[in-house]
Protein backbone atom coordinates (compact mmCIF):
# COMPACT_ATOMS: atom_id res chain seq x y z
CA UNK A 1 0.00 0.00 0.00
CA UNK A 2 2.67 2.55 0.79
CA UNK A 3 4.28 1.81 -2.58
CA UNK A 4 1.02 2.57 -4.39
CA UNK A 5 0.69 5.84 -2.52
CA UNK A 6 4.24 6.75 -3.40
CA UNK A 7 3.54 6.00 -7.05
CA UNK A 8 0.39 8.08 -6.98
CA UNK A 9 2.21 10.92 -5.30
CA UNK A 10 4.95 10.71 -7.91
CA UNK A 11 2.40 10.82 -10.72
CA UNK A 12 0.67 13.81 -9.15
CA UNK A 13 4.00 15.54 -8.69
CA UNK A 14 4.97 14.92 -12.30
CA UNK A 15 1.61 16.26 -13.49
CA UNK A 16 1.95 19.36 -11.34
CA UNK A 17 5.51 20.01 -12.49
CA UNK A 18 4.53 19.47 -16.12
CA UNK A 19 1.83 22.11 -15.77
CA UNK A 20 4.25 24.76 -14.55
CA UNK A 21 4.98 26.94 -17.59
CA UNK A 22 7.47 29.76 -18.17
CA UNK A 23 6.57 32.27 -20.87
CA UNK A 24 9.75 33.68 -22.52
CA UNK A 25 10.35 37.28 -23.50
CA UNK A 26 8.43 38.58 -26.56
CA UNK A 27 5.87 35.76 -26.38
CA UNK A 28 2.27 35.43 -25.18
CA UNK A 29 0.29 32.26 -24.53
CA UNK A 30 -3.45 32.02 -25.17
CA UNK A 31 -5.08 29.88 -22.42
CA UNK A 32 -8.41 28.13 -22.96
CA UNK A 33 -10.50 26.57 -20.16
CA UNK A 34 -13.02 23.94 -21.09
CA UNK A 35 -12.60 24.92 -24.76
CA UNK A 36 -13.20 28.66 -24.34
CA UNK A 37 -10.85 31.59 -24.04
CA UNK A 38 -9.74 32.09 -20.45
CA UNK A 39 -6.72 34.42 -20.32
CA UNK A 40 -3.46 35.49 -21.94
CA UNK A 41 -0.19 34.72 -20.24
CA UNK A 42 2.60 37.24 -20.43
CA UNK A 43 6.30 36.85 -19.62
CA UNK A 44 6.97 34.89 -16.40
CA UNK A 45 6.04 31.76 -14.42
CA UNK A 46 2.51 30.37 -14.70
CA UNK A 47 0.58 27.30 -13.56
CA UNK A 48 -1.96 25.52 -15.70
CA UNK A 49 -4.74 23.48 -14.12
CA UNK A 50 -4.35 19.92 -15.36
CA UNK A 51 -7.09 18.57 -17.61
CA UNK A 52 -8.91 21.92 -17.37
CA UNK A 53 -6.71 24.53 -18.98
CA UNK A 54 -4.76 24.19 -22.19
CA UNK A 55 -2.39 26.40 -24.16
CA UNK A 56 -4.37 27.16 -27.30
CA UNK A 57 -1.72 29.25 -29.11
CA UNK A 58 1.77 30.58 -28.58
CA UNK A 59 2.03 34.05 -30.11
CA UNK A 60 5.35 35.62 -31.13
CA UNK A 61 5.21 39.37 -30.46
CA UNK A 62 8.39 40.23 -32.41
CA UNK A 63 8.20 42.16 -35.67
CA UNK A 64 7.80 39.83 -38.63
CA UNK A 65 8.97 40.28 -42.21
CA UNK A 66 7.08 38.52 -45.01
CA UNK A 67 8.27 38.56 -48.62
CA UNK A 68 5.30 37.83 -50.86
CA UNK A 69 5.91 36.45 -54.38
CA UNK A 70 5.39 38.69 -57.45
CA UNK A 71 1.79 39.55 -58.28
CA UNK A 72 0.54 40.45 -61.79
CA UNK A 73 -0.96 43.94 -61.84
CA UNK A 74 -2.30 46.08 -64.67
CA UNK A 75 -1.63 49.81 -64.85
CA UNK A 76 -4.05 52.48 -66.01
CA UNK A 77 -2.50 52.43 -69.50
CA UNK A 78 -2.96 48.63 -69.75
CA UNK A 79 0.60 47.50 -69.05
CA UNK A 80 0.88 44.23 -67.12
CA UNK A 81 3.70 44.16 -64.59
CA UNK A 82 4.97 41.78 -61.94
CA UNK A 83 5.38 43.39 -58.50
CA UNK A 84 6.50 41.67 -55.33
CA UNK A 85 6.05 43.25 -51.91
CA UNK A 86 7.63 43.01 -48.48
CA UNK A 87 5.40 43.53 -45.44
CA UNK A 88 6.65 44.31 -41.92
CA UNK A 89 4.03 43.54 -39.29
CA UNK A 90 3.74 42.98 -35.54
CA UNK A 91 1.09 41.28 -33.39
CA UNK A 92 -0.30 43.75 -30.88
CA UNK A 93 -3.28 41.75 -29.51
CA UNK A 94 -2.64 37.99 -29.11
CA UNK A 95 -6.33 37.21 -28.43
CA UNK A 96 -7.53 38.90 -31.63
CA UNK A 97 -4.71 37.27 -33.56
CA UNK A 98 -5.70 33.84 -32.24
CA UNK A 99 -9.43 34.17 -32.86
CA UNK A 100 -9.73 36.98 -35.42
CA UNK A 101 -8.91 35.24 -38.69
CA UNK A 102 -8.04 31.75 -39.90
CA UNK A 103 -4.54 31.53 -41.45
CA UNK A 104 -3.68 35.21 -41.00
CA UNK A 105 -0.58 35.11 -43.25
CA UNK A 106 -2.63 33.97 -46.23
CA UNK A 107 -5.18 36.64 -45.42
CA UNK A 108 -2.48 39.33 -45.36
CA UNK A 109 -1.02 38.06 -48.64
CA UNK A 110 -4.36 38.13 -50.44
CA UNK A 111 -5.19 41.51 -48.95
CA UNK A 112 -1.82 42.85 -50.10
CA UNK A 113 -2.35 41.58 -53.65
CA UNK A 114 -5.83 43.09 -54.00
CA UNK A 115 -4.76 46.41 -52.48
CA UNK A 116 -1.76 46.58 -54.80
CA UNK A 117 -3.94 45.94 -57.85
CA UNK A 118 -6.37 48.68 -56.82
CA UNK A 119 -3.62 51.27 -56.30
CA UNK A 120 -1.60 50.42 -59.43
CA UNK A 121 -4.79 50.36 -61.51
CA UNK A 122 -5.14 54.11 -60.95
CA UNK A 123 -1.54 54.85 -62.06
CA UNK A 124 0.15 54.85 -65.44
CA UNK A 125 3.43 53.06 -66.09
CA UNK A 126 5.68 56.08 -65.58
CA UNK A 127 3.83 57.05 -62.40
CA UNK A 128 4.18 53.51 -61.05
CA UNK A 129 7.94 53.52 -61.61
CA UNK A 130 8.42 56.92 -59.98
CA UNK A 131 5.85 56.79 -57.16
CA UNK A 132 7.07 53.95 -54.97
CA UNK A 133 6.91 56.02 -51.79
CA UNK A 134 3.31 57.02 -52.52
CA UNK A 135 2.28 53.42 -53.22
CA UNK A 136 4.08 52.17 -50.10
CA UNK A 137 2.33 54.74 -47.90
CA UNK A 138 -1.12 54.01 -49.31
CA UNK A 139 -0.69 50.26 -48.95
CA UNK A 140 0.54 50.52 -45.36
CA UNK A 141 -2.42 52.69 -44.39
CA UNK A 142 -4.99 50.38 -46.04
CA UNK A 143 -3.45 47.15 -44.73
CA UNK A 144 -3.04 48.53 -41.21
CA UNK A 145 -6.71 49.50 -41.07
CA UNK A 146 -7.85 46.15 -42.49
CA UNK A 147 -5.71 44.03 -40.15
CA UNK A 148 -6.53 45.96 -36.98
CA UNK A 149 -9.46 43.60 -36.08
CA UNK A 150 -6.99 40.70 -36.31
CA UNK A 151 -4.68 42.19 -33.67
CA UNK A 152 -1.98 42.91 -36.30
CA UNK A 153 -0.24 46.22 -36.89
CA UNK A 154 1.35 46.84 -40.30
CA UNK A 155 4.51 48.85 -39.67
CA UNK A 156 5.84 49.12 -43.19
CA UNK A 157 5.18 48.01 -46.78
CA UNK A 158 7.80 48.09 -49.53
CA UNK A 159 7.61 47.37 -53.24
CA UNK A 160 10.63 45.13 -53.68
CA UNK A 161 10.73 44.74 -57.46
CA UNK A 162 8.73 46.23 -60.31
CA UNK A 163 9.16 44.15 -63.48
CA UNK A 164 7.56 45.54 -66.67
CA UNK A 165 7.20 43.30 -69.74
CA UNK A 166 10.34 42.52 -71.76
CA UNK A 167 9.41 44.82 -74.65
CA UNK A 168 8.77 47.68 -72.21
CA UNK A 169 12.16 47.06 -70.59
CA UNK A 170 13.85 47.10 -74.01
CA UNK A 171 12.10 50.37 -74.90
CA UNK A 172 13.12 51.91 -71.57
CA UNK A 173 16.73 50.80 -72.10
CA UNK A 174 16.74 52.37 -75.58
CA UNK A 175 15.27 55.53 -74.14
CA UNK A 176 17.88 55.63 -71.40
CA UNK A 177 20.65 55.02 -73.95
CA UNK A 178 19.33 57.83 -76.14
CA UNK A 179 19.16 60.12 -73.11
CA UNK A 180 22.75 59.29 -72.15
CA UNK A 181 23.91 59.93 -75.73
CA UNK A 182 22.03 63.23 -75.75
CA UNK A 183 23.69 64.29 -72.50
CA UNK A 184 27.05 63.20 -73.86
CA UNK A 185 26.50 65.28 -77.02
CA UNK A 186 25.50 68.28 -74.91
CA UNK A 187 28.56 67.94 -72.68
CA UNK A 188 30.80 67.52 -75.73
CA UNK A 189 29.28 70.57 -77.42
CA UNK A 190 29.67 72.62 -74.24
CA UNK A 191 33.29 71.50 -73.97
CA UNK A 192 33.99 72.47 -77.58
CA UNK A 193 32.25 75.79 -77.02
CA UNK A 194 34.34 76.55 -73.94
CA UNK A 195 37.49 75.49 -75.79
CA UNK A 196 36.66 77.78 -78.72
CA UNK A 197 35.92 80.65 -76.35
CA UNK A 198 39.19 80.16 -74.51
CA UNK A 199 41.07 79.94 -77.82
CA UNK A 200 39.41 83.13 -79.09
CA UNK A 201 40.15 84.92 -75.83
CA UNK A 202 43.77 83.78 -76.07
CA UNK A 203 44.06 85.04 -79.65
CA UNK A 204 42.40 88.29 -78.61
CA UNK A 205 44.80 88.81 -75.72
CA UNK A 206 47.73 87.90 -77.98
CA UNK A 207 46.60 90.41 -80.61
CA UNK A 208 46.18 93.08 -77.94
CA UNK A 209 49.66 92.38 -76.61
CA UNK A 210 51.14 92.51 -80.14
CA UNK A 211 49.35 95.79 -80.86
CA UNK A 212 50.50 97.18 -77.53
CA UNK A 213 54.09 96.14 -78.27
CA UNK A 214 53.91 97.69 -81.76
CA UNK A 215 52.44 100.83 -80.26
CA UNK A 216 55.21 101.08 -77.67
CA UNK A 217 57.82 100.47 -80.38
CA UNK A 218 56.35 103.22 -82.59
CA UNK A 219 56.18 105.59 -79.62
CA UNK A 220 59.79 104.93 -78.72
CA UNK A 221 60.91 105.32 -82.36
CA UNK A 222 59.02 108.62 -82.64
CA UNK A 223 60.51 109.77 -79.36
CA UNK A 224 63.99 108.87 -80.66
CA UNK A 225 63.42 110.78 -83.90
CA UNK A 226 62.08 113.73 -81.97
CA UNK A 227 65.10 113.72 -79.68
CA UNK A 228 67.41 113.51 -82.72
CA UNK A 229 65.68 116.45 -84.38
CA UNK A 230 65.82 118.44 -81.17
CA UNK A 231 69.53 117.64 -80.79
CA UNK A 232 70.28 118.71 -84.39
CA UNK A 233 68.26 121.86 -84.05
CA UNK A 234 69.93 122.62 -80.75
CA UNK A 235 73.35 122.14 -82.33
CA UNK A 236 72.41 124.37 -85.27
CA UNK A 237 71.04 126.99 -82.91
CA UNK A 238 74.23 126.85 -80.84
CA UNK A 239 76.33 127.21 -84.02
CA UNK A 240 74.32 130.20 -85.18
CA UNK A 241 74.55 131.68 -81.75
CA UNK A 242 78.33 131.32 -81.71
CA UNK A 243 78.61 132.76 -85.23
CA UNK A 244 76.51 135.75 -84.21
CA UNK A 245 78.64 136.24 -81.14
CA UNK A 246 81.79 136.24 -83.33
CA UNK A 247 80.29 139.04 -85.57
CA UNK A 248 81.53 137.61 -88.97
CA UNK A 249 82.13 139.95 -91.87
CA UNK A 250 80.18 139.89 -95.08
CA UNK A 251 83.19 138.52 -96.93
CA UNK A 252 83.40 135.55 -94.48
CA UNK A 253 79.73 134.85 -94.94
CA UNK A 254 80.15 135.01 -98.71
CA UNK A 255 83.10 132.60 -98.62
CA UNK A 256 81.08 130.16 -96.48
CA UNK A 257 78.28 130.48 -98.97
CA UNK A 258 80.66 129.62 -101.80
CA UNK A 259 81.84 126.58 -99.90
CA UNK A 260 78.28 125.51 -99.45
CA UNK A 261 77.60 125.87 -103.16
CA UNK A 262 80.80 123.98 -103.87
CA UNK A 263 79.52 121.05 -101.78
CA UNK A 264 76.18 121.29 -103.50
CA UNK A 265 77.92 121.19 -106.88
CA UNK A 266 79.49 117.85 -106.01
CA UNK A 267 76.06 116.23 -106.21
CA UNK A 268 74.12 115.22 -109.27
CA UNK A 269 72.58 118.68 -109.86
CA UNK A 270 73.30 119.89 -113.41
CA UNK A 271 72.32 123.49 -112.88
CA UNK A 272 72.94 125.80 -109.90
CA UNK A 273 71.72 129.41 -109.65
CA UNK A 274 74.09 131.65 -107.67
CA UNK A 275 72.78 134.96 -106.22
CA UNK A 276 74.27 138.19 -107.69
CA UNK A 277 75.85 139.22 -104.41
CA UNK A 278 77.86 136.04 -104.27
CA UNK A 279 78.78 136.44 -107.98
CA UNK A 280 80.24 139.92 -107.37
CA UNK A 281 82.07 138.69 -104.32
CA UNK A 282 83.48 135.85 -106.37
CA UNK A 283 84.69 138.32 -109.02
CA UNK A 284 86.37 140.43 -106.34
CA UNK A 285 88.11 137.37 -104.99
CA UNK A 286 89.39 136.52 -108.48
CA UNK A 287 90.78 140.08 -108.97
CA UNK A 288 92.62 139.87 -105.67
CA UNK A 289 94.17 136.57 -106.70
CA UNK A 290 95.41 138.17 -110.03
CA UNK A 291 96.95 141.18 -108.23
CA UNK A 292 98.77 138.91 -105.79
CA UNK A 293 100.20 136.86 -108.71
CA UNK A 294 101.50 140.03 -110.61
CA UNK A 295 103.26 141.32 -107.57
Ordered by start, the domain boundaries in the chain are: 2-60, 63-164, 185-247, 250-295
What beta strand segments (E) does the chain contain? 20-23, 27-33, 36-41, 44-47, 53-60, 63-67, 71-74, 80-91, 152-163
pLDDT at residue number 292:
46
* pLDDT per residue as tens, the chain (295 positions): 578 888 888 888 888 888 899 999 999 999 999 889 999 999 999 999 988 999 999 999 999 999 999 989 988 888 888 999 999 999 999 999 999 888 888 999 999 999 999 999 888 888 888 888 889 999 999 999 999 999 999 999 999 888 888 887 777 777 778 888 888 888 888 888 888 888 888 888 888 888 888 888 888 888 888 888 888 778 777 766 776 666 655 655 556 655 555 555 555 555 555 555 555 544 544 554 454 445 5
Q: Cα–Cα distances in Å, from 134 out to 120, 124, 128, 162, 179? A: 11, 13, 9, 14, 26
pLDDT at residue number 211:
86
pLDDT at residue number 147:
93
Q: What is the topology classification, in CATH, of domain 63-164?
A: Tetrahydropterin Synthase; Chain A (3.30.479)
pLDDT at residue number 115:
92
pLDDT at residue number 288:
44
pLDDT at residue number 235:
76
Provide the total of helices (H) and of strands (E) in the chain, helices listed first: 8, 9
pLDDT at residue number 12:
84
Does the predicted TM-score (pTM) go above 0.75?
A: no
Amino acid sequence: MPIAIIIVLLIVLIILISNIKIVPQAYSYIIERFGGYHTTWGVGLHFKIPFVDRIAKKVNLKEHVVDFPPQPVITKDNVTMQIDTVVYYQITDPKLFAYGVERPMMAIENLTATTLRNIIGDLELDETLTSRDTVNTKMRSILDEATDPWGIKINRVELKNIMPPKEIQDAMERQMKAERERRESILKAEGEKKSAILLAEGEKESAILRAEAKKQSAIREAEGQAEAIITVRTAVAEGIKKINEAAPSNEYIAIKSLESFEKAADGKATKIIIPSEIQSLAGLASSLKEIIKND
